[in-house]
Amino acid sequence: MTSASDDGRDRDAEGRARNARPRDGLGRPLPYGTDGVERQPEGVVRAPEETVTEAQALLTAGKPFHAHEVFEDAWKSGPHEERALWRGLAQLAVGLTHAARGNVTGGARLLRRGAAAVEQWAAETGRSRPYGLDLAGLAAWARELADTVDKDGAAVDAEVWAPQLRGEGA
């Protein structure tokens, strides 16, 4: 729960600053009182398979910002040896978010950074399909999308460009 503090800032029950403004499907803040999409709860510890399933549902629904939040939870709560994997996946989701918002330069940069991160993690660990994730396919998808937004210079549809985390038909 969030409430306004004496300084007018939204704060959670522990007093930490939290923006309570509603958000759209791409995570952009909307005016207070506007109907937004349901926010992803922060700090949820999930099993890795649950993380992938939940993130995929959000990506498929055109909500990459919210998928990024799910990956960020895994990055922060998962085992140390998997943090680079989840951080890379979060970068891919937020790269798609920026590309869909029209920030093509930032989106392309984050997509390429995320692609490199998941490839590096796979190379270092020898695991190319952890939890059924198709890391090579995700890296190829991210680079294709980065090239597309660089070339077109326009926002993309997040739902149309949603990746298949476990590969085609998975």
CATH number for the domain spanning 113: value is 1.10.3450.10
Q: Are 113 and 91 in contact (CB under 8 A)?
A: yes
Q: Do 29 and 60 share a domain, yes or no?
A: no
136 pLDDT higher than 90: yes
Domain that holds residue 77: 48-152
**pLDDT, averaged across the chain:** 90
The span from the CA of 62 to the CA of 66, in Å, is: 9
Q: Are 81 and 111 in contact (CB under 8 A)?
A: no
Cα 61 off chain centre by = 13
| pTM, two decimal places | 0.86
Q: Do 13 and 66 share a domain, yes or no?
A: no
